[in-house]
Chain A
């Protein structure tokens, strides 16, 4: 039981490049989330998917898109990366009717 896995662990992009961050969970959870973590800012929600087939914006969605590919997988796409998107990105999942979220190990992204 791997829990929540994220790939890649590290990534360096140039401004304007695109990439997709992958997230998968094997706990049969309904809900999945993408956060970014910046120094002194805590975690901020980018997008979430309450259940398969639905996605909604969080606090800081601009510059990102998401896809809930199936119940297990939830990807985050940066279409045209900007230096302001340099951050650590965390994926999380939860059972629909509880609030406890389980987090992946994170992806450290640097945009130059």
Chain B
């Protein structure tokens, strides 16, 4: 079956530090990969996505590259801000029989301090 493993949190960084959140996956077929972000008290929002190997998704200074050889999709940002404090979820989706289900990792809580 499909599964997503992401690094345990919480992660605490100072403003302007470099961020990496590791994500690896197990899937049958050719999954699409996603990072979602959940700000306090809100629902999940799509942050970025990649639909095939070697694609790079990017948004709001965040980026992640779909690495098929290492089955990874690590999230990076060069300089974090206090406003980036949130929970980040890695997810994958495969199609089959009309099903478009997402499989999520457990989430990584990021706190950025001034």
B-binding residues in A (CB < 8 A): 4, 31, 33, 40-45, 48, 50-51, 56, 58, 90, 92, 94, 96, 98-106
Query: What's the Cα separation between A42 and B5 when bound, in Å?
Result: 11
Q: Is the CB of A99 within 8 A of B99?
A: no
Query: What's the Cα separation between A32 and B93 when bound, in Å?
Result: 15
- The contact sample of 8 A-B pairs, CB cut-off 8 A, is A4-B43, A40-B106, A58-B101, A90-B43, A96-B100, A99-B100, A101-B102, A103-B44
Q: Is the CB of B46 within 8 A of A100?
A: yes
Residues 60-112 of B contacting A (Cβ, < 8 Å): 89, 93, 95, 98-102, 104-107
Q: Is the CB of A103 within 8 A of B98?
A: no
Q: Is the CB of A43 within 8 A of B104?
A: yes
Q: Mark B32-61, 1 if CB is under 8 A from A, else 0.
A: 101010000111111001010000000000
Given A99-B32, A99-B34, A43:B101 Cβ within 8 A = no
Query: What's the Cα separation between A69 and B111 when bound, in Å?
Result: 40
Closest beta carbon of chain A to B96's beta carbon, Å: 11
A-binding residues in B (CB < 8 A): 32, 34, 36, 41-46, 49, 51, 89, 93, 95, 98-102, 104-107
Q: Is the CB of B45 within 8 A of A103?
A: yes
Instruction: Give B4's nearest chain A residue, CB to CB.
Output: A42
Q: Is the CB of B42 within 8 A of A105?
A: yes
Instruction: Give A58's nearest chain B residue, CB to CB.
Output: B101
List residues of chain A with CB within 8 A of the CB of B102. 33, 43, 45, 99, 101
Query: What's the Cα separation between A73 and B104 when bound, in Å?
Result: 24
Q: Is the CB of A31 within 8 A of B43?
A: no
Instruction: Give B89's nearest chain A residue, CB to CB.
Output: A42
List residues of chain B with CB within 8 A of the CB of A99. 32, 34, 49, 51, 93, 95, 100, 102
List residues of chain B with CB within 8 A of the CB of A102. 46
List residues of chain A with CB within 8 A of the CB of B105. 42
Q: Is the CB of B43 within 8 A of A48?
A: no
Q: Is the CB of B106 within 8 A of A41?
A: yes
Query: What's the Cα separation between A59 and B51 when bound, in Å?
Result: 24
